[in-house]
Amino acid sequence: MSRGQSCLITLVRNRTRQNHHSSNAQRRSLTTLESSLDSESKSDELHKTEMAKTVSKIIRERRRWQQTLLSDFPSFDFADPLFFRELLSLQNNNVMFSLWFFRWLCSSFDYKPDYVSLNLLFSALLDAKAVKAAKSFLDSTGFNPEATLLERYVKCLCEDGLVDEGIKVYYTLLKEMRTVPEVATCNSVLRGCLKARRLDRFWEIHQGMAEDSEVDVVRIQCLIQALCNGGEVSQGYELLKKVLKQGHDPGHAVYAQLISGFCKIGNYASMSEILHTMIAWNHSPSVYTFQEVIKGLCKNEKQQEAFYVFNNLKERGYAPDRVIYTTMIHGLCEKGWFGSARKLWFEMIEKGMRPNEFTYSVMIHAHLKRGKVVLAKELYCEMVKSGYGETTVSYNTMITGLCSYGRAEQAFEVFKRMSGTGVARDAITYNALVQGFCKENKVKKGVNLFKELKALGLKPSDRTYDALQKMRNLKMSDSVAAASLNEILEIA
């Protein structure tokens, strides 16, 4: 090998070694730089996290936290978006602290919140169900959230009773953002309309949904409830039949709604059909459902059928509560079946259910209706001793009962006792006595009480005016009373 070749080889080898050493040095330098940057980044993140914890604690515990932050950390950049997000994540349990901090940033610094931070804060407000705060946040910032957040906002508004605002945002999604809302969002708007008794808006919105929106079980529940609320119970029943034929079960609440609706209009054939259908679909009627049936039957003078349902309820293993017992006792008393009513009264007490004021009132009226004044008074005393006390309601029970069955003078004695015990008299007290005295042709006393009623600023009932008008139509021997009566009715 020539010297020239040897030198060339040596030179190449040396350069290769130099390049190799230089490359390794550069790699080591880059690795050190990356490690340093990573360390600085981690240190910065850790600093922000620790700072967020400190700030969060100060906001919670200090009344004048704004001044504390400025004086204790004069050089810290509170307007850093990453710091705000860290603070927000720490205050999930009380997002209002984050909202206060956000407002402070906006008012005290040249702070321009980024879109991500705005979305995060708005989302946190919705998570906390702080609907009014969320609405105020949108109004003050002019921020337009993403569609998914707006859908959640619609649900929150409707659940909180702000239905008109919920509908407005719903139409923003449809028309301005051209978004087809999820089924759950559509249903929340419909439920909100039902809750607010806005049937006009319900049907308007439903018609707009009909073409594009999926109809699920919740939608069916809303539709049947809307039909029942609007007095179209039969149409609701037809919809139920159609749904059941398709193999869908709309749930317990729908059956109960229809049963209640048919009870109110006195359609007991359809009510009975639904009750049987309900059981066939493995839905056991609740005690409340049975109470609706019994109340409806009694209201429409079908006490015998109501009593059958009541006994059937017990045979099925249900335990009727005090409300059902009282409803049935009242129905039996109205029919004049006092023996059965009295039997249920003692049965209720034996089962550990204490009669309430209404239950006592029902039995007191029943005794008075039969002319058993002594028994009525004894029961009244028992009611007072049971802890209900001598109240306007308890006195009115006796006064109304006595007047209804031709014992206005005895009712007047109870009336006089009210002032002695310091119990206030109300419009019911006076109206009952005026009607009672007119019924017994004791016009002068009736007129005097009527004048007292008016002087106290109380309102006479239509039945009171009717009773006075009947007296006016009769020929009265007492000319003074007749003149007073004419004067009262002419002024009225």
pLDDT of residue 215: 76
Q: For residue 189, give the nearest of 173, 177, 175 by alpha carbon.
A: 173
Identify the pLDDT of residue 10.
38
What angle do the packed helices 408-421 and 427-439 form, to 10 degrees?
Answer: 150
**Lowest model confidence (mean pLDDT) among 64-78, 247-261, 478-492:** 478-492
Task: List pLDDT tens digits, range 354-395.
Answer: 998 888 888 888 888 888 888 888 888 888 888 877 788 888
Cα of 366 vs its chain's centroid, Å = 37
Yes or no: say if 431 and 456 are a contact pair by the CB < 8 Å rule: no
Helices 252-265 and 233-245 pack at an angle, to 10 degrees, of: 150
State the Cα–Cα distance between residues 147 and 144, nearest whole angstrom.
9
Predicted pLDDT of residue 484: 67
Rounded CA separation 83/119 (Å): 15
Please state, in angstroms and rounded to a whole number, the distance separating the CA atoms of residues 399 and 426: 12
pLDDT at 477: 54
How does DSSP assign 28-71, residue by residue?
A: HHHHHHHHHHHHHHHHHHHHHHHHHHHHHHHHHH-TTHHHHHHH
Whether residue 205 has pLDDT greater than 80? yes
Judged by DSSP in three states, 78 sits in coil
Residue 326 has pLDDT above 90, yes or no: yes
CA dist., res. 111 & res. 231, Å (int): 56
pLDDT score at 483: 66
- Indicate the SS3 state at residue 363: helix
CB 192: neighbour CB atoms within 10 A?
27
Summarised one tens digit per residue, pLDDT across range 70-99 is 999 988 988 888 888 888 888 777 889 999
Q: Is the dihedral of CA 448, 451, 453, 459 positive or negative?
A: positive
Exposure b/e, 307-333, CB count within 10 A at least 16 = b? bebbeebeeeebebebbbbbbbbbbbb
Least reliable range by pLDDT among 29-33, 451-455, 463-467: 29-33
Name the percent of the chain lying above pLDDT 70.
85
9 has pLDDT over 50: no
Q: Where does 210-337 have alpha helices with state H? A: 217-229, 233-245, 252-265, 268-280, 287-299, 303-315, 322-335
Q: Which has the minimum average pLDDT: 130-144, 189-203, 337-351, 470-484?
A: 470-484
Of 419, 410, 418, 415, nearest to 431 (Cα)?
Answer: 415
Structure tokens at 287: 């005690």
pLDDT at 461 over 80: yes
pLDDT score for 164: 93
Question: Which pLDDT score is estimated for 166?
Answer: 93
pLDDT at 192 over 60: yes
Is the distance from CB of 94 to CB of 61 less than 8 angstroms? no
Q: What is the identity of the amino acid at 225? A: Q
In sequence order, the 6+-apart residues with CB closer than 8 A to the CB of 61 are none
Q: Are 370 and 336 in contact (CB under 8 A)?
A: no
Q: Measure the CA–CA gap between 347 and 339, rounded to whole angstroms.
A: 12
What are the residues whose beta carbons fall under 8 Å from the beta carbon of 288, sequence distance 6 or more? 256
pLDDT at res. 151: 93
Separation between Cα atoms, residue 204 and residue 201, nearest integer Å: 5
pLDDT at 316: 82
> What pLDDT was estimated at residue 369?
81
- Amino acid present at 331: G
Please give the average per-residue pLDDT across 434-438, as a whole number: 91
Q: What pLDDT sits at residue 6?
A: 41
Tens digit of pLDDT for each residue in 107-148?
888 788 889 999 999 999 999 999 999 999 999 898 889 999
- Residue type at 32? T
**DSSP string of 246-283?**
TT----HHHHHHHHHHHHHHT-HHHHHHHHHHHHHTT-
What pLDDT sits at residue 487? 67
Q: What pTM was computed for the model?
A: 0.62
pLDDT higher than 60, residue 199: yes
CA distance 111 to 480: 84
State the greatest distance between any 2 C-alpha atoms of the chain, in Å, as a whole number: 161
Residues 6+ apart with CB under 8 A from 298: 306, 327, 328, 330, 331, 334
For residue 231, which amino acid is it? G
pLDDT in tens, 49-68: 888 899 989 998 988 999 99
Whether 472 shows a pLDDT value over 80: the answer reads: no
pLDDT of 218 > 60? The answer is yes
pLDDT the model gives residue 116: 92
Q: What is the mean pLDDT of the chain?
A: 84
Contacts of 326 (CB under 8 A, 6+ apart): 355, 356, 358, 359, 362
pLDDT tens for 285-295 read 888 888 888 98
Q: Report, as an integer, the average pLDDT of 459-473.
A: 83
